[in-house]
Amino acid sequence: MTSDIAIHWFRQDLRLSDNPALARAAAHGRVIPVYILDETNAGRYAMGGASRVWLHHSLTSLSKSLGGQLAVFKGSAEDVLLQLSKQTGAKAVYWNRCYEPWRMERDSRIKDNLRGSGIQVESENGSLLWEPWEITNKEGKPYRVFSPFYRKGCLAAPEPRRPLPKPVADWLVPESASTEIATLGLLPNLPWGKSITENWQIGEAAAQNRFDEFLNDGLNNYKEGRNLPAKPFVSRLSPHLHFGEVSPNQLWHTVRGILGDSNAEHFCSELGWREFSYSQLFHNRELPLTNLQTKFDAFPWRQDRDHLRAWQTGQTGIPIVDAGMRELWQTGYMHNRVRMIVGSFLVKNLLLDWRHGERWFWDCLFDADLANNSASWQWVAGCGADAAPYFRVFNPVTQGQKFDPKGEYTRKYLPELEHVPDKFLYDPWNAPALVLKAADVTLGNTYPEPIVDLKLSREAALAAFQSLKKI
């Protein structure tokens, strides 16, 4: 009998617990668990290098949870699913929805083609607390400002569904399928591919462990402490969330259960920001490419490859910026406060288009999520929904002094400045020559001189913004 076979297509839901589509497939009958690396349809949104590294390890962990019975394929998902259904006699295909425009278009085609072949197809929400089309204002339009989106939209909506247990299933792998994750070719032939994961544990169990550690050690000071990059008060759950090793529902219901705690409330509002980013992408398909505020289409961005390269490699001569960019390259992650600082520096002090930042983060971040990445860069650049005003220019010197006052974070990634006193750590160009000599620092040699003057570049940014008002 083959009528009881169903395919579960894993995507950004690389977990067994609280997996709605997997639960549906298990209830249907024997389950063929499948992952398809579809770079045929992804185009410019194919995963960046860091994401591929994480995916390799996440799939390895998932396959182990399945007893080594995860079938992996590379190619057009449409072709793979049609052929696999025919070969195995599977009568149903289940998956959890993704919300990137290219995936939605492809998935719609796949549903039509599979159903046209007499195969049952069902999709579920396994990645968001609310569907993007569910949270709208009284006129039925998407919110443009976060606060009413969250307070009047999310918190007034029906409660997100409760997490589901791991299903009991009989896994089935076709003889023609590979279970070797290495056949996907996700790991680069570079030492960086190993070093970047040194400080991470990857997979569903690791995600739960990280969440437990955050609940015990980070949540109690989250609201204020999340601004301090040297302290353990951020969750570092974003890569686990992006790949679906943990669901937002699991996080939401656990943290919402801590009543009357402002830190818990703030953490839930950050999950709300994630929902807000997905709403923006769903209602603005060109979010990664096009300014939401069209007046920025005339913004006089500069073209300077040397400045861009200095920013990418952490060689700008601005310590907190360089520390953040080196953290990104070395760990596949960057602290949220520092992301805002390096973003502001790129688009305002360097006057380089925010899309350069979006592309670099896409390649270097483990949590490179199309909705979050695009919306966040538009926020920093002042051209997005509920964006930070363009005239708000972060001062990287005072930001470093305020949020990393002892230099623990900055010195970790800039060991060449290890002996510079705290007083001059964030503006070493102002340090007396004897201080630099004692710290064994030679600007322009052991550490770069600033590539721009912070005061003059801020004035240039404000003048560029003023020019938009004349158009």
Active site residues: 270, 273, 301, 336, 354, 377
One-letter identity of residue 339? R
DSSP state of 41: T
Determine the Cα angle at 68 with ends 63 and 72, to 5°.
60
**Tokens 């796949």 sit at which residue?**
110
Report strand pairing: 92-96 vs 71-74: unpaired
Helix ranges, 257-347 (H): 262-283, 305-312, 319-331, 336-344
Closest CA to 151 of 269, 262, 261, 263: 269
Overall residue count recorded for the chain in this entry: 471
Contact indicator for 312, 403 with CB cutoff of 8 Å: no
Report the C-alpha gap between 227 and 328 in whole angstroms: 17
DSSP state of 302: B
278: left (phi over 0), alpha (psi -120 to 50) or beta: alpha
Closest CA to 24 of 11, 9, 35: 9
Structure tokens at 195: 């070093």
Contact indicator for 50, 363 with CB cutoff of 8 Å: yes
- β-pair partners for 121: 93
Structure tokens at 257: 């259960």
Kindly report the backbone phi and psi dihedral angles of residue 29, in degrees, each rounded to the nearest multiple of 5, phi listed first: 160, -145
Closest CA to 316 of 329, 326, 331, 330: 326
Q: Determine how many CB atoms are found less than 10 A away from the CB of residue 427.
A: 17
Three-state DSSP class for 34? strand
